[in-house]
Structure 1
């Protein structure tokens, strides 16, 4: 079979489809130089690779602003900066801490000059707590610093010996256990681990007993304090001591002068002593009874005396005991108005007494003396001859609400 049937005449040309009416939009537009150098008669040049379009950020006003990336942005393991109060000393220069992380230190210089970017130094980081200061000494490298003193330091060895302490402070600050007040750090977290429930139940009884003991002790202290306050309110002591002595007749000088004669063994009606007065008169005093005479210590023939000086005492009844003292005007007024008066002896006994105001008391009060002499009379038999020479204190007391 002749294969010419399948042959094409030279004049016959294969039909080609018409090009599409729609023109494709190029992904990347040609540049002006490419359009200029293109010649339809020549082969089409290869199309360049598409170039990414970089869009600059625009400000709210519409103007384009360039924002340079920070120098330390490339650290993929950078930790967050925290506002923890601290201070830094680097190469003798002091800095006030602005923020800190496990990688960097941001601080503000308070004094000194610039250290120079890229230099390495040993830093002293101080965290001030309420009662102590935690200091770390890592090696740091200066990342940046400006003339205003704002500096950034990078830890050269972030996993060094300072890491456990610094990590604990950072984690505690993040967890809320640390509170910053006026540049100080206070710990507010738990101080002891929680106890198991069984152990807590075992201690509940002890805590209850301890609470009851504290309550009982508090009540006791309140009672003691109340009794002390009541005693201070209702009780007062006189300043001068009380003297217990035998009751007798006291013989005093009636004028200033010199004793010219003294006879303690004189009988009734005889001259007991004589005083040559400064006025030139001789004053003789006779013995009133056949009684015991006790001469005052320091009195003898030739002794000069003043008016009212005690020369001797005549004891009529040797068993009679008397107590006397100097009492304040305020205390005398309280005793006269019904306050209870007790005489507290130095042997521990407390004897109720009655205050007797004599003529000497009235005279001293009229003269305006602050303290006046009074006599104290106790119940019969309360004081004996064994109490002679003992001292005591005078105590005044009144009932509650002044009754």
Structure 2
């Protein structure tokens, strides 16, 4: 949902400009505002305790090891008939297990989420929004009576007010219809992927063939040489050979001495001229949505978006996995991705086909055939 507001006088001294806030801790010049909202991180819901343009404070149970990690937050502000959802990248800077408080600082406070969040905070400060829970209301000022006890009347002013009120009603009606259409489209024809996608070099992963500890690791191994060895829980040492000679191998995360599970990626290998793709971790129930998608939009933090589609080989491999755990899927972009975006995160939106799309295509084809026969 997109909301814009031109009035920034109540935030940041009226300049409308924000200085970049380092993602270490929340600055004191951005006071927290207590208004009802919720936040979703990695699929887990947290209750909002405070929000500002620099970050948020949440309450709930969280893993203390997440401190210092970057996560994609989905902030939800509830209203009576709808909710405003804002996605923003943040860094978890503090977790207090004692009272359940979690402090998250926005990585880029001036990112694409800024206009929507600033509008909500400005409206709340100004008193335009007097309820953020069950009812969305506005503060109305009563008409001031004239000295004689009767309201002053002005023929010209009354006409202008009538025209103005009519325009406001028409604008509100159009906005309501547009909002309803957007909600219907978002509910039935759009599917949001919770986990962000990451830009990586196309290739494949060498995975652990059994659970155990990595006993040997060589990213420079030639074809046929041992790339890594695992000392399995059974006591055996299992080795995996490098499958190619002209490829580049990098660690997929585990280091020498690390403990891995069966099927966990250990090395990522790719050809020297391999293109950039996006890789996303999804739940098994989302595989069909990716397979039948009309298009998958990937939007980066700077607002740039590209269209992608799920790689068929990646989908087939994931569909054969019966473990029930989250799976990695490759997304192939319609146009090449700039090399400077390697490692960047993107938010994914799956666009479904309209139920009557095939019927419309058939009608268009019949009309085209009819005109061709007439000519």
Instruction: Give the TM-score, by structure 2 length.
Output: 0.47
TM-score by structure 1 length?
Answer: 0.44
Relative contact order, higher structure (CA 8 A, sep 6+)? 2
Q: Which structure: larger Rg?
A: 1
